[in-house]
Homo-oligomer: A and B are copies of this chain.
Amino acid sequence: MQRIEALVQRVRAQGGKVTAQRMLIWRALEGDQTHPTAEDLYARLKPVLPGLSLATLYNALNELVEWGEVRRFDAGDGHIHYDPDCSAHAELVCLKCHTIIDAPQEVAPQPAIPDEIAGYRILARSEQYFGICPACRAARA
């Protein structure tokens, strides 16, 4: 995710309004590394801005995804997770318990995201390794 200043400009340039809700959501996402779901964010933000509606949160999240500012991904737990980090990094996702952690650096040795591939203007990249986490391996099956 770019810095918030840039988002403010983007919205204004499109004739949109910079509202308290958007700012709040952007700030909450900025630098977040917990791969939150919409519900996670809602639980976190509702106390701060009690009037906040889930619909508004979804609106803001969808905008960010369309702009390539935030990445959505399915961890296989039936919930959509959001990650403001669109740079080249990988996640480890457990197929059993759906835990998500960032993979160690050495796993994603391709730091640069090409601007364009096959005519697509590339805005974000997602990479995940699916497997069985140590805890689930220990628990066997």
Q: Which residues of A contact B (CB under 8 A)?
A: 65-66, 68, 71-74, 76, 80, 92, 94-96, 101, 103-104, 107, 109-110, 113-114, 117-134, 137
Contact = CB atoms under 8 A, between A and B. Distances in A.
A119 B101 CA distance: 12
Contacts of A120: 92, 94, 129, 131-134
B95 A66 contact: yes
A73 B71 CA distance: 13
A71 B130 contact: yes
Given A114-B107, A122-B131, A130-B122, A68 B95 contact: yes
Given A66-B95, A74-B73, A123 B114 contact: no
Contact of A74 (B80, B113, B121, B125): B80
Given A74-B73, A74-B80, A118-B101, A68 B131 contact: yes
25 contacts: A65-B76, A65-B95, A68-B130, A68-B131, A73-B73, A92-B117, A92-B118, A94-B120, A95-B123, A103-B117, A103-B118, A104-B118, A107-B114, A107-B117, A109-B110, A119-B134, A120-B131, A120-B132, A120-B133, A122-B131, A123-B132, A125-B129, A126-B127, A127-B127, A127-B128
